[in-house]
Amino acid sequence: MSASLREVPGVLFGDINFASGLLVLEYDPEHDPRERVIAVVRASGHGVEPLARAAEQVPPPSWWQEHRSAVAVLVSGASIALGYVTSALNESPLISAAFFALAIIAGGALTLRRALVSLRARMLDMNVLMTVAVVGAAAIGEWQEGAAVIFLFALGGWLESRALVRTRRSIRELVDLTPAQARIRRGEAETLVRPDEVRVGETLVVRPGERVALDGVIVAGRSALDESAITGESVPAEKGPGDQVFAGSLNTSGLLEVTVTAVAEDTTIARIIHLVEDAQATKAPAQRIVDRFSRWYTPSVVALAVGIAVAPPLAGAVFGISFGSFSEWLYRALVLLVVACPCALVISTPVAIVSAITRATRDGMLVKGGAFLELAAKARAVAFDKTGTLTRGRPAVVFVHASDERALLETAASLEAHSNHPLAVAVVRYAAERGIAPRPVTELEELAGRGVAGILDDSRVYVVSPAFGTDLAKIPSSLELSLAAHESAGETVLVVVRDSSVAGYVSVADEVRPEAAEVVAALHDAGIEHTVMLTGDNERTAQGVAMATGVREYLSRLLPEDKTAAVRELKGRYGVVAMVGDGINDAPALATADIGIAMGAAGSDTAIETADVALMRDDLRALPRFFALGRRARAIITENVVVSIAVKLVVLLLALLGAATLGMAVFADTGVALLVILNSLRLLRAR
């Protein structure tokens, strides 16, 4: 179809993405070819509408438009059945031939139209081969064979279109998630408007049970939002003032007021839809190989069929030896034409790739194209950024040592409550989670590079580093050993000193994600040979995180260019390498890797646009699923290709020996194509 469009005068580029149902056309405005392009598309049996009109409230297709292919298949099948019945009852051969002819007309009308379009574009495709085979069968009196061929081909085409509708459904479901109206507060009134009429900065009101119409930030209210369409997370996320919300999310409980941060076409879900459509249209390497193969394969088959039909009878006439009748060799040539149609082979890769991308999207993984799924199956090493990837990216209290833990936390939080330092924020947050509120402190003093001091309950209190703590109080040797152990694990220790005696200490670290060790182990079990952590942090901290997560190698104190060099070195050692990061930092390393994977990308424009794969949820557990999906996709593509070629070779050999019928040829073509489609659709199932 795309090649036919490019043959229209004035068309510079034309491409059809059947996965999303979009036709992209680039043309010379001086020779506007749009009417002719529409005519070509409709001549091939497809409907076409301008995108602008399709976005409007257009009437749904009529019953006939929606079901005419099914009706044609039904009429063709019924006519064949009547033809066999009349033949079995020994009725006039003309009656049975008429029923078979009706079956050919009903089932083959669309195939004939598409064949004529292909011939005008000087192309030989499967529609041309099928048309020649059916016309040839009728010409030598094999009406029932011709009818069976066209019926099964039409049935296969209809089932393929149903499968394509199923793969498109994921995009349609995403589109349907965005409400048709947005409730905007303008002045004192609430107004329902179309989302594309809303400007950035306006206030969106979302009632319980409604979906969020646009991306924004909550300014009032709290609720649990179902974000499964964007992140793949089935558990609703609790959100309140300052938290980001995404268009398409379902507000399950409270009333929310949201400041809009993106217009309709720039929302996260709109970008996801656009990128999924592009990904489904992008051909994987295996698919490009099959396409190149098909270009010379089909003409070669036609030439071979002509040779089989003509050469033996001609040789017999020349040498006076009977090799069989012309009709006999013509029948063999027709069988060859049908069995040689590359339907199953051509469709073996794209259906699998589209199904896998659809499955990934449902699971909260945005894959930019089939090439990255193929690479995922070949990956042997995975490199991780540390901060924000293997760790949460923010300091958290990991240990408290004190005879009275609650009193120690109250003291530390009271002094640290006046600081914005990440360590101070971690201590205050940890105390608040346990219901401990800061108390008033007087004579608060910042000790640069050491800590903080103040008066609490008439006592001089310090929260300082261990090195400065030894200047303020005597630290017992047992406590010194404990402090050293925490520091050697890469943690930052804050010692609390009250009235010249050590009350205890708080240990703070960039907390390792609880799922990190499980994920790294799962990658190793799944065949990833090597994992490495790349970080700019110090050796001690890097070693502690590496031990906690189970990565097999770590490199510390790396600058961005060092990380890029490390990825190159890994590629030299292991071949295909994936790099996992936040999609913004370490961009050179992500770009250098064969697969750049950004995690927690929901709401991050840069991560979604730049990464090869974006894990929408801030959770590493999607990573093993991505590599497993890549391996499943490769296995299914391999199965499809092997079965397609093997069946065709067997029937092709039988055809050359005269032992194959047109029915066997149809199975080798349309039957195997259906098996390939059904096999590929297994990728839509969750594992």
φ and ψ of 194, to 5 deg: -70, 145
Q: Quick one: tokens of 385?
A: 């950024």
User: What residue spans of 379-418 are helical by DSSP H?
Assistant: 405-416
Mean pLDDT of 201-219: 92
- Bridge partners of residue 23, in order along the sequence: 16
523-541: burial string, b at 16+ Cβ within 10 Å, e else: bbeeebebbbbbbbbeeeb
- Confidence grade of residue 300 (pLDDT, cut at 50, 70, 90): confident
Q: Are β-strands 391-402 and 365-367 bridged in parallel, bridged antiparallel, or unpaired?
A: unpaired
Residue 190 scores a pLDDT above 70: yes
User: What is the spatial distance between Cα 619 and Cα 227, in angstroms, rounded to a whole number?
Assistant: 14
The string of pLDDT tens digits covering residues 547-589 is: 889 999 999 888 777 888 899 999 999 999 999 987 555 677 8
Question: Could you tell me which of 401, 435, 388, 408 has the C-alpha nearest to residue 507?
Answer: 401
Count other C-beta atoms under 10 Å from residue 409's C-beta: 23
Q: Which structural domains are found in the chain, ordered by start? A: 2-59 (3.30.70), 65-170+278-353+634-684 (no CATH), 182-266 (2.70.150.10), 356-391+513-631 (3.40.50.1000), 392-512 (3.40.1110.10)
Question: Could you tell me which of 403, 400, 402 has the C-alpha nearest to residue 504?
Answer: 402
The Cα-based distances of 542 to 237, 295, 384, 550, 559 in angstroms read 31, 54, 12, 12, 14
Q: Is the pTM of this model over 0.95?
A: no
Quick one: the chain helix, strand, coil %, rounded to 5? 55, 20, 25
Contacts 24+ apart (CB under 8 A), 48-54: 48/23, 51/22
Q: In the chain, what percentage of residues exceed pLDDT 70? A: 82
Supply the pLDDT for residue 283: 54
- CA angle (142 as vertex; 96, 99 as ends), nearest 5: 25
Residue 55 scores a pLDDT above 50: no
Count how many Cα atoms sit within 13 Å of the Cα of residue 611 in the half-sphere of its side chain. Answer: 29
The string of pLDDT tens digits covering residues 255-297 is: 999 999 988 888 877 777 776 666 555 555 555 555 566 567 6
Q: Is residue 266 annotated as a catalytic residue, yes or no? A: no
Q: Which residue has the tokens 């996992």?
A: 580
Q: Quick one: tokens of 500?
A: 């010249």
- Confidence grade of residue 12 (pLDDT, cut at 50, 70, 90): confident
Q: Quick one: tokens of 111?
A: 């195939």
The DSSP 8-state label assigned to residue 211 in this structure reads B
User: What is the spatial distance between Cα 602 and Cα 237, in angstroms, rounded to a whole number?
Assistant: 13
Question: Could you tell me which of 468, 466, 491, 492 has the C-alpha nearest to residue 480?
Answer: 466
Q: Quick one: tokens of 473?
A: 């109080």
50-54, 304-308, 402-406: least confidently modelled range: 50-54
pLDDT top residue among 119 and 97: 97
**Which amino acid, one-letter code, is at 685?**
R
**HEC letters along 569-623:** HHHHHHCCEEEEECCCCCHHHHHHCCEEEEECCCCCHHHHHHCCEEECCCCCCHH
- Confidence grade of residue 184 (pLDDT, cut at 50, 70, 90): very high
Q: In the chain, what percentage of residues exceed pLDDT 90? A: 21
Mean pLDDT of 309-333: 79
163-177, 513-527, 665-679: least confidently modelled range: 163-177
Given 125, 385, 612, 669, the catalytic residue: 385
H or E element, residue 383 = strand 381-385
The string of pLDDT tens digits covering residues 120-140 is: 767 666 777 778 778 877 877
The string of pLDDT tens digits covering residues 141-176 is: 778 877 877 887 787 777 667 666 665 565 566 666
User: What is the spatial distance between Cα 434 and Cα 416, in angstroms, rounded to a whole number?
Assistant: 16
The Cα-based distances of 22 to 271, 277, 327, 399 in angstroms read 16, 9, 45, 56
Collapsing DSSP states into helix, strand and coil, what is residue 378?
Answer: helix
Collapsing DSSP states into helix, strand and coil, what is residue 245?
Answer: strand
The string of DSSP codes covering 625-637 is HHHHHHHHHHHHH
Number of residues written out for the chain: 687
**Which amino acid, one-letter code, is at 525?**
D
- Contact between 103 and 90 (Cβ < 8 Å): no
Q: Quick one: tokens of 401?
A: 């040592």
User: What is the spatial distance between Cα 595 and Cα 555, in angstroms, rounded to a whole number?
Assistant: 20
The string of pLDDT tens digits covering residues 647-660 is: 888 888 887 777 87
Supply the pLDDT for residue 259: 94
Supply the pLDDT for residue 473: 83
User: What is the spatial distance between Cα 99 and Cα 91, in angstroms, rounded to a whole number?
Assistant: 12
- Contact between 397 and 508 (Cβ < 8 Å): yes
Supply the pLDDT for residue 478: 79
- Contact between 411 and 461 (Cβ < 8 Å): yes
